[in-house]
Amino acid sequence: MDEAEQIKNELIVALGRAMKTIPELAEDSDASFDAWPRIHVNVMYRYLAAKAGFPKRCDDRRCRRKGYCHGGLGEKDCHACDELWSEADLGKLEAACLAILLGWRELQGFRPMGDMLFSGSLLSESTPAETSA
C-alpha cells in the first residue's frame, strides 16, 4: 500500500470514529443532505477536534472520559472546547464546513434533475410539443 492509500484509509477510519459520536447517524446510516447538513458539519467538527487532541484537554468530563469530542456548532451542542480552537484550527474547520456546504448545494441542484430522470419524464417517448398540447 502506498503512502496516499494509507493516508486515505486512516482518514476514513478517523471520520468513521467521528460519525459514531453523532446519535442521528447511528439511527440513520443514510443521513440525508435534504435539510441543512448540520450532522455532517458536526462530524467534521468532532473529527478536527480529535485530530487536534481536544478531548484530552476539554473542560467537559464526558470528552476526557470517553476520549472523543461532544461538541458542535449548534446551540444545543457542547461548547466546552471552544476556547481550545486556534486560528489555524478554525481555518481548517471553516474550509471543511464550506466544502460540505458546497457539496450540499450541488446535491440540491442535481436532485430535481434526478427526480425527473427517475420519474420517467425525461425518458418519455413524447416530444416536447406533444406534452404541451
Q: Domain-by-domain residue ranges, the chain?
A: 3-111
**C-alpha span between 111 and 115 (Å, rounded):** 6
Q: What is the pLDDT of residues 101-114, one digit of tens each?
A: 888 877 777 666 56
The pLDDT of residue 99 is above 60: yes
In terms of Cβ atoms closer than 10 Å to its own Cβ (0-12, 13-18, 19+), residue 79 is middle
Separate counts of helices (H) and strands (E) for the chain? 7, 0
**C-alpha span between 63 and 41 (Å, rounded):** 18
CB 85 within 8 A of CB 93: yes
CB 72 within 8 A of CB 45: yes
- Supply the pLDDT for residue 121: 55
Q: What is the pLDDT of residues 35-91, one digit of tens each?
A: 668 888 899 999 999 999 999 999 999 999 999 999 998 888 889 999 999 999 999
- Supply the pLDDT for residue 20: 76
**C-alpha span between 88 and 93 (Å, rounded):** 9
Name the region of 120 (left: φ>0; alpha: ψ -120 to 50; beta: rest). left
Q: What is the mean pLDDT of residues 12-27?
A: 72
